[in-house]
Structure 1
Amino acid sequence: MNVKSILGIVLTLVGLIGLIYGGIDFTKGGVSQASFVYVIMGGIFFFAGVGLIRSTRA
């Protein structure tokens, strides 16, 4: 495994955790600015990680 693949996996996991945490916050009725930040940043990290994994696979 090279460094790009490992970084892609880490970004994907961090993004997934952010999306899950934001979703849990939404379901608890806490629709605040922090919930939107978790979901948006989680989505950015998740899709960046998936794109990085896709681009490094040969």
Structure 2
Amino acid sequence: MNVKRTFGTILTILGIIGLIYTGVEIIQRAGNAVNLTVIGVISLIFFLTGIGLVRNTKDEA
């Protein structure tokens, strides 16, 4: 299996988890706005980077 594709999948999953966490905390109004903003931005970066790695990596056997 391609290492870049695996790393991209891991980054995508971490990004999804972070975005879900941020969304839940915003809905519950439980967290500090600055902390939630930082977590949301980092999660979005992970998600977009992971999607980019998975999309741009070619399968070569």
Do both share a fold (TM > 0.5)?
yes
**By how many angstroms is 1:57 displaced?**
3.4
What percentage of aligned pairs have identical amino acids? 41
* Cα offsets for 1:3-32 (capped at 9, x unmatched): 000000000000001100011110011351
Structure 2 stretches lacking a partner, 5+ long: none
- Give the aligned partner of residue 48 of structure 2: 47
Count matched residues: 58
Normalised to the residue count of structure 1, the TM-score between the two structures is 0.90
Maintained 8 Å contact 1:18/1:42: yes
Structure 1 stretches lacking a partner, 5+ long: none
After the TM superposition, list the runs of 4 or more consecutive aligned residues in structure 1 that deviate by more than 3 angstroms.
none
Matches within 5 A, 1:11-30: 11-29=11-29, 30=31
Q: CA RMSD in A?
A: 1.2
